[in-house]
A and B are shown apart, each in its own frame.
Chain A
């Protein structure tokens, strides 16, 4: 699980998720949308989301819709926090510096 101190175990799948959120930091995405855009399986995707949320990089909230009106259940939406934005930017910046090569 993500740690409260902000340390997150990085993997290729985690980087793909972060990269997707960095494209539009204010965008809120559900697990289903992340699967469609990243292609990461549910067995890997949800632990990553839990980890990042626990580390404070993500926040999540329920979709504000009426399920009876929308005709589908509400989804859990994830959004990048300021901390997450800063940390994710540092990760990719370190890639650019070649530290993580």
Chain B
């Protein structure tokens, strides 16, 4: 509803109200109301004024009829003021009809405002639409799949436990050597692997020197016994690739030195570590027990 439409509507209401007034007052009321309407500012205020004039003209027309009797005695006449009550049921019906008219006009006004607001909103907020063409949309992109653990290529080495391998080249020897594997840490549970590599750790092989030949004489005299652990690195052919080192002492420097000499002398006679049956270069601890036999 534009401002011009509201102006026309208010004038139409006032003309209609004035025509409903007594004929003697019709022209005067129309001119008076139009003049007072011009003093109002705002479409809503003017519309309320025009609607009020419609209400007023009905009351004026009712009270202007000479047959009407005052419903309430005058305050001046009897010096009492009583609340205004109209006992004329005809007037009540008139008032009800006018009330309905006012309610209808308010509803019409509200509808007009809502309609105008909706038009204004649609005219003010035209959001520019931007289209985007998606090429080869993948319906499974959303939601994003959870990352799966990468299991390929992982192997679990389950070394064959060959601890306490006693090397006894000579039944009469009083010295025995044992090859032990370093205590392995319990590995956390791993997911199943498609391929498990079989590894067999090496140790003294054929032709390995007799450890009894390396038992120091002084140690025999001092009754020194113990187990020395040396680390040896052996290639695929059973030869040492580096100098053996003592990993765990036997409790005697002489026995430790004897163990190193034995490990050096055994170069070329080691049994190489195998992986899936293939000899490979590796390092492993060599446990040598020096024990005197009674």
Contacts and interface: CB of A to CB of B under 8 A. Distances in A.
Given A75-B32, A94-B75, A11 B56 contact: no
A2 B68 CA distance: 11
B80 A100 contact: yes
Nearest to B71: A9
Interface string A7-43: 1111100000000000000000011100100000111
Contacts of B64: 1, 50
Interface in B67-117: 68, 70-77, 79-81, 84
A91 interface: yes
Nearest to A10: B75
Contacts of A47: 56, 59-60, 63
Interface string B15-40: 00000000001001101111110111
A45 B56 CA distance: 8
B55 interface: yes
Interface string A73-101: 11110000000000100110010000110
Contacts of B35: 30, 32, 72-76
B60 A9 contact: no
B48 interface: yes
Contacts, number: 106
Interface residues of B, number: 37
Contacts of A99: 79-80
A92 B165 CA distance: 130
From B54, B56, B59, B68, name the one whose CB has the most chain A CB atoms within 10 angstroms: B56
A43 B84 contact: no
Given A51-B63, A99-B79, A41 B38 contact: no
A41 B40 CA distance: 12
Given A1-B63, A41-B48, A73-B31, A11 B55 contact: no
B210 to A, nearest CB: 128
Interface of A: 1-3, 6-11, 30-32, 35, 41-47, 50-51, 72-76, 87, 90-91, 94, 99-100
22 contacts: A1-B60, A3-B70, A7-B70, A7-B73, A9-B74, A30-B35, A31-B36, A42-B49, A42-B52, A43-B56, A46-B56, A47-B59, A47-B63, A50-B25, A51-B63, A72-B35, A73-B38, A76-B31, A76-B32, A76-B35, A87-B76, A100-B79
Given A6-B74, A31-B36, A46-B29, 10 more contacts: A10-B84, A43-B51, A45-B52, A50-B25, A50-B64, A73-B35, A76-B31, A94-B79, A99-B79, A100-B79
Give the 5 A-B residue pairs with the shortest CB-CB distance, closest first. A7-B74, A42-B52, A43-B55, A43-B52, A1-B63
